[in-house]
């Protein structure tokens, strides 16, 4: 199985660039919404991988908070870009969208940190189970 940290690989930066581009250039809001969906999909797959490892998101308070904040910010950005695409008043100003985008970036950094810690923990458990005694 892939490492949990792999869900936050460098291509995530391209998705963030797409989100910021959509905020700065309303004509790119469709692409930005697609970038939001890609980050959301990463979070979903990350959560599924946690479940497969037997990890309960709710017992890791910092991890759960970062996940919830990122998901909420992504939902808000999706609503923002949908409004821009439809030509109706957006639920927030572009500055607010930038703040939510920064929130997503910050929480993804936190989730990546937690993922690395959990990868290390699970790798050490696996080594201890497969190592010969003594």
Q: What is the pLDDT of residues 69-78, one digit of tens each?
A: 999 999 999 9
* Sequence spans of domains, the chain: 10-130
> What is the C-alpha separation between 73 and 87, in angstroms, rounded?
21
pLDDT, tens digit, 9 for 90 and up, residues 88-103: 999 999 999 999 999 9
What is the reported pTM? 0.88
Six token digits for residue 97: 């969208």
């Amino acid at each position: 199985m892939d490492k949990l940290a792999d869900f936050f690989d460098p291509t995530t930066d391209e998705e963030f660039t797409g989100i910021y581009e959509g905020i700065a250039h309303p004509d790119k809001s469709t692409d930005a919404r697609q970038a939001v969906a890609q980050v959301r999909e990463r979070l979903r797959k990350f959560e599924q991988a946690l479940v497969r490892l037997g990890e309960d998101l709710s017992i890791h308070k910092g991890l759960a908070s970062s996940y919830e904040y990122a998901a909420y910010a992504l939902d808000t950005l999706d609503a923002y870009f949908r409004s821009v695409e439809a030509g109706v008043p957006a639920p927030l100003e572009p500055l607010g969208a930038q703040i939510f985008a920064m929130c997503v970036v910050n929480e993804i950094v936190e989730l990546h940190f937690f993922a690395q810690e959990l990868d290390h923990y699970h790798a050490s458990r696996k080594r201890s189970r497969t190592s010969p005694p003594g």
